[in-house]
Amino acid sequence: MTRRTPGRRALVTGGAGLIGSHLSDLLLRQGYRVRILDNLEPNTHRKGRPPWIPTQAEFLHADVRDQKAINSALEGVSVVFHQAAYGGYMPEISKYVEVNSLGTARLLETIRDENLPVEKVVVASSQAVYREGAAECLRHGLVFPDTRPTDQLAAGDYAVHCPVCGEPSDPVPTPEEAPMGGETVYAITKSDQERLALAWGRQTGVPTVALRYSCTYGPRQSIFNPYTGVIAIFATRLLNGQPPVLYEDGEQTRDLCFVGDVARANLLAAESDALDGLPVNVGSGRATTIREVAEMVSEALGVRIEPLARGEFRPGEMRHLTSDISRARAAGYEPGVDLMQGIEEYIGWIGDQGDVRDYFAEAEKVLREKRIVHETRPTGP
Ligand SMILES: NC(=O)c1ccc[n+]([C@@H]2O[C@H](COP(=O)([O-])OP(=O)(O)OC[C@H]3O[C@@H](n4cnc5c(N)ncnc54)[C@H](O)[C@@H]3O)[C@@H](O)[C@H]2O)c1
Ligand SMILES: [Zn+2]
């Protein structure tokens, strides 16, 4: 069933960000009244309020940790798109828990305790909730390997081994049935957001969907935040005459999804009841190595600098992750933008952003100091 009542009010938390802002534009085009709640997180919005917050939307400059702000944000709202989150590989722990876990808890609790007439909650989850991408073993078929041990990575073995026989395995698209258990602080709190929301939906009967986005990119992706967004990071490195830095050997694969496709998946989740109560992968369904991403960005920019692979790695990071998008497809989702086309669109947008300082070198130092990035210990001769 599709529900589309003109004039319904939608709340988009994090609506000043990459996904939230494209979603807000789409909702306005569809006739929704849009309210945005966003605290303009300084790591993401170093220049303050971004020019793309639509003037037709109501903008609340406030924090999801603020109970009063949540109460006002929810007034008269039919659909909630909860996109606000603290993201990436930042060194904090408590801030992730406060913003992502506690912020989501407060939002859900308020809807229930105030008995608000919210008809749908769509929460931004992430593919980071998985431990590792699904894999195929020659002897054991489809397997769900665990996070690779840090000692294994430190010894320079980046392969994903079959959890049954220990032989190297081949990556395959990951379905929603794969076990959760991503081990970064971000992943732990994204799991919290998803599980709290889906459990709350079952309890209260409010239809709730958790969209597990793959790596999303596109115009408006912060060029200031060096901890997220591989395409944004590579582009800013190259524009500063610096080589892109590849962790491990650069042969890890990711599913890169254009932001417009993610926005459409949100609308679909809100308007169809086919996905209610479920976690749903949203991605392109295609695998690309990080080395290929570096090459594509370099080609789109016309800046030829060989990427650096110094054998560094990030404990807890997955080796391969491509989303199996059959569930979303069955409900009508179809990714529309091809990777090179999307990268070119992003690069075109960066060209209009003026000064693109390289925040990466500074950030890298912090990542090493805080033990988020480790170095491989050379072994053997
Ligand atoms: N971009 C990706 O690759 C990706 C992948 C998987 C999941 N996600 C999830 O999608 C959602 C949107 O991500 P995005 O890529 O648009 O990131 P983004 O950083 O561009 O946008 C997030 C927005 O949330 C706001 N925000 C952060 N903390 C807040 C707080 N305490 N109170 C209010 N607002 C706050 C930020 O100011 C920002 O505008 C997030 O929940 C993120 O975890 C993103
Ligand atoms: Zn096996």
Q: Strands (DSSP E) along the chain, which ranges?
A: 9-13, 33-38, 58-61, 79-82, 120-126, 135-137, 141-143, 170-171, 208-213, 215-217, 245-246, 253-254, 256-258, 279-282, 288-289, 308-309, 312-313, 320-321, 374-375
Q: What is the model's pLDDT at position 183?
A: 82
22 vs 50: CA distance, rounded Å: 13
3-class DSSP assignment, residue 227:
coil
φ, ψ for residue 233, nearest 5 deg:
-65, -50
Secondary element (H or E) of residue 67: helix 67-73
pLDDT score recorded for residue 87:
85
Is pLDDT above 80 for 161? yes
Query: 146-158 pLDDT, tens per residue?
Result: 999 999 999 999 9
Q: Report how far ligand 2's centroid is from the alpha carbon of 183 (Å).
A: 23
Tokens of 366: 């912090």
Using CA atoms, how far residue 22 sits from 30, 73, 98, 220, 309, in Å, is 12, 19, 25, 9, 34
Around ligand 1, the residues with Cβ closer than 6 Å are: 14, 16-20, 37-41, 44-45, 63-65, 83-87, 99, 103, 124, 126, 190, 213, 215-216, 222
Residues ≥6 apart with Cβ < 8 Å to 378: 156, 311
**In this model, does residue 379 exceed pLDDT 60?**
no
Q: Per-residue pLDDT tens for 233-269?
A: 899 889 888 899 999 999 999 999 999 999 999 999 9
Region of 157 on the Ramachandran plot (φ > 0 left; ψ -120 to 50 alpha; else beta): beta
Q: What's the rounded mean pLDDT across residues 118-143?
A: 97
Q: Which residue has the tokens 């290929």?
A: 292
The whole-model pTM stands at: 0.94
Q: What are the residue numbers of the active site?
A: 186
- Testing ligand 1's pocket by substitution, the residue of 126, 261, 290 carrying the most ligand atoms inside 8 A of its CB is 126
Mean pLDDT within 329-337: 97
Q: What is the pLDDT of residues 188-219, one digit of tens each?
A: 999 999 999 999 999 999 999 999 999 999 99
Rounded to the nearest angstrom, the distance between the alpha carbon of 318 and the centre of ligand 2 is: 19
From the alpha carbon of 21, which atom of ligand 1 is closest? Answer: 16
Percent of the chain with pLDDT strictly greater than 90: 79
Mind listing the pLDDT tens digit for each residue in 302-323?
999 999 998 899 888 899 999 9
Which residues are CB-contacts of 136 (< 8 A; sequence separation ≥ 6)? Answer: 142, 143, 169, 170, 171, 172
Residue nearest to atom 13 of ligand 1 (CA): 19
Sign of CA dihedral 193, 34, 57, 213: positive
Q: Is the pLDDT of residue 358 over 60?
A: no
Atom of ligand 1 nearest to the CA of 128: 6
Residue 268 phi, psi (nearest 5): -60, -45
Q: Which pLDDT score, from 0 to 100, does residue 357 have?
A: 66
Question: In the chain, what are the domains?
Answer: 9-134+173-372 (3.40.50.720)
